[in-house]
Amino acid sequence: MYDVKSMKAEDFINHEEILETLEYAEKNKDNIELIEQILEKASPKKTGRGVECAGLSHREASVLLACDNPEITEKIFALAREIKQAFYGDRIVMFAPLYLSNYCVNKCVYCPYHIQNKEIPRKKLTQEEVKQEVIALQDMGHKRLAIEAGEDPVNNPIEYILDCIKTIYSIKHKNGAIRRVNVNIAATTVENYKKLKDAGIGTYILFQETYHKDSYEVLHPAGPKHNYAYHTEAMDRAMEGGIDDVGLGVLFGLDKYKYEFAGLLMHAEHLEAVHGVGPHTISVPRLKRASDIDPSTFDNGIDDDIFAKIIACIRIAVPYTGMIISTRESEECRHKVLELGISQISGGSRTSVGGYAGYSSEERPHDTEQFDVSDQRSLDEVVNWLMKGGYIPSFCTACYREGRTGDRFMALCKVGQIQNCCHPNALMTLQEFLCDYASPETKKIGEELIAKEIQKVPDEKRRARAIQYLESIKNSGERDFRF
Ligand code: SAM
């Protein structure tokens, strides 16, 4: 039976509740009066403390997603843009994935790492290789990584992951530093989550892949990942282990998108109901071509229009949750969805194990790639492109380093302090990038942007301090200022 507070996957992601939700959404998809009420409920409201948004339940959001009236779709997009502006402004946080190992004992039918794939060489970075990768990433300008590994208790035990995290944080090459390591590894035990917490990780990311239990079991025919309940309940164990920031995600293309959308929001509601804080991020990967994987053999692919609508509806339903897209998506698609709700993107990414060190920005090793990368631009090119599009690329990692994780981060959003905090932090970290890594053209565009944007910090004292810090970054080489 559906129970948002139950600790059992089959209760909080209850199949019947999803089916009823989809039926309700289908029945009401032309009910304009109800839809207008839902949009009104979700729209930002000015309160004494700032701007607040109520968000939507999975049922309400599913009605929006089901509605195919073009006028309403425009209203959905407009509201998503408004919410995005209210909480994230024009800032886009940058990150890069770092693939540690492609050894894997699972048989996930959509993933090239599956144990039966003999086409890819298996590779695991040594600590010396991790160091070289991190130096290459720092030399691009990255400050935030998401580490990725297949599931293999013998080749990639938790001790190996912890060693890698330690190595990553220890490297300070020139002015570089990795200040936040997010971790995308297989579901594990509370004890191991505690170890990850103690290692100082940022977000623990685990994609559900699909919320549909029967499909899940078919798509994961063997290996530890086959266990739907263990996988679905992982975020509860992570939070029990002390990790405040968790990142959800669905791999779109595996099952029907409306089902996944309802499941994803039910998962977010569950975390909020049980732990008092929803997911820190939601990722929206789409299935891609890869070694031994042909996406056309899967029936549930979604086109760019549906993809954009899903992103807009997530933005409206969970306004305080960051949203991430990767270089799986093309430049054109990324452009379209940025304004609808995306707050974090990867840039200059390599999805192969050992893909950064020793390769120029034009060379790309393909042998151990996890999936084809659509957006193959360098980080400098992505930063340049974002700024030309009116965005502010941010390398900020301040929140969790200042203890603003979980509900404390949400509190910052809710009291309207973002413009006094995130805005100068974004500009200061962008200034670091411009000084240390940018091409002359990117530097020029960036410095003009910073000069204009710093004036938008509302608090006078904060603005003056931020200007002082920007000068120190430029003139005395100091780094890592933050509010
Ligand atoms: N091994 C960990 C796990 O099982 O959760 C996480 C690491 S895996 C390298 C990261 C994610 O890549 C997976 O969760 C999956 O959603 C995604 N992925 C796998 N195959 C893909 C494909 N062909 N196209 C796009 N994304 C894929």
Residue 99, strand partner residues: 148
Residue 324 Cβ < 6 Å to ligand 1: no
Atom of ligand 1 at shortest range from CA of 106: 4
* Closest residue by Cα to residue 5 from 266, 377, 368, 240: 266
Q: Which of 114, 207, 293 to mutate to test the pocket of ligand 1 (most atoms within 8 A of CB)?
A: 207
Please give the distance, rounded to the nearest whole angstrom, from the Cα atom of residue 419 to the centre of ligand 1: 35
Residue 345 Cβ < 6 Å to ligand 1: no
State residue 416's pLDDT score. Answer: 62
Residue 110 Cβ < 6 Å to ligand 1: yes
Atom of ligand 1 at shortest range from CA of 187: 5
Atom of ligand 1 at shortest range from CA of 225: 4
Q: What is the mean pLDDT of each run of 10 residues along the chain (483 residues)?
A: 98 98 98 98 87 94 98 98 93 97 98 96 97 98 98 98 98 97 98 98 98 98 98 98 97 98 98 96 96 93 97 97 93 94 95 90 79 89 97 95 81 74 96 98 98 96 97 96 95
Tokens of 405: 């994780």
Tokens of 289: 């071509």
Atom of ligand 1 at shortest range from CA of 209: 16
State residue 446's pLDDT score. Answer: 98
Please give the distance, rounded to the nearest whole angstrom, from the Cα atom of residue 345 to the centre of ligand 1: 17
Q: Which helix (H) or strand (E) holds 392?
A: strand 392-394
Instruction: List the residue whose alpha carbon is closest to atom 26 of ligand 1.
Output: 287
Rounded to 10 degrees, what is the CA torsion of 369, 372, 376, 378?
-30
Residue 150 Cβ < 6 Å to ligand 1: yes
Atom of ligand 1 at shortest range from CA of 184: 6
How does pLDDT run across 259-302, given as a tens digit for each residue?
999 999 999 999 999 999 999 999 999 999 999 999 999 999 99
Please give the distance, rounded to the nearest whole angstrom, from the Cα atom of residue 237 to the centre of ligand 1: 20
Instruction: List the residue whose alpha carbon is closest to atom 6 of ligand 1.
Output: 185
Residue 184 Cβ < 6 Å to ligand 1: yes
Atom of ligand 1 at shortest range from CA of 102: 9
Instruction: List the residue whose alpha carbon is closest to atom 14 of ligand 1.
Output: 207
State residue 359's pLDDT score. Answer: 80
Residue 151 Cβ < 6 Å to ligand 1: yes
Atom of ligand 1 at shortest range from CA of 104: 1
Residue 337 Cβ < 6 Å to ligand 1: no
State residue 358's pLDDT score. Answer: 78
Residue 186 Cβ < 6 Å to ligand 1: yes
298 exposed, middle or buried (CB, 10 Å; 0-12, 13-18, 19+)?
middle
State residue 51's pLDDT score. Answer: 83
Query: Helix H segments across 141-225?
Result: 158-170, 190-198, 213-219
Instruction: List the residue whose alpha carbon is closest to atom 25 of ligand 1.
Output: 287
Please give the distance, rounded to the nearest whole angstrom, from the Cα atom of residue 40 to the centre of ligand 1: 37
Q: Which helix (H) or strand (E) holds 181?
A: strand 180-184
Atom of ligand 1 at shortest range from CA of 231: 5
Residue 247 Cβ < 6 Å to ligand 1: no
Those residues whose C-beta lies under 8 Å from the C-beta of residue 288, and which sit 6 or more positions away, are 295, 328, 371, 372, 374
Those residues whose C-beta lies under 8 Å from the C-beta of residue 136, and which sit 6 or more positions away, are 356, 357, 358, 359
Sign of the dihedral through C-alpha 287, 289, 293, 294: positive
State residue 414's pLDDT score. Answer: 63
Mean pLDDT of the chain: 95
How does pLDDT run across 200-252, given as a tens digit for each residue?
999 999 999 999 999 999 999 999 999 999 999 999 999 999 999 999 999 99
Atom of ligand 1 at shortest range from CA of 151: 1
Q: Is the pTM of this model over 0.75?
A: yes
Q: Which of 99, 111, 374 to mutate to test the pocket of ligand 1 (most atoms within 8 A of CB)?
A: 111
* Closest residue by Cα to residue 349 from 322, 370, 321: 370
Residue 216 Cβ < 6 Å to ligand 1: no
Residue 185 Cβ < 6 Å to ligand 1: yes
Tokens of 443: 């530097």
Please give the distance, rounded to the nearest whole angstrom, from the Cα atom of residue 111 to the centre of ligand 1: 6
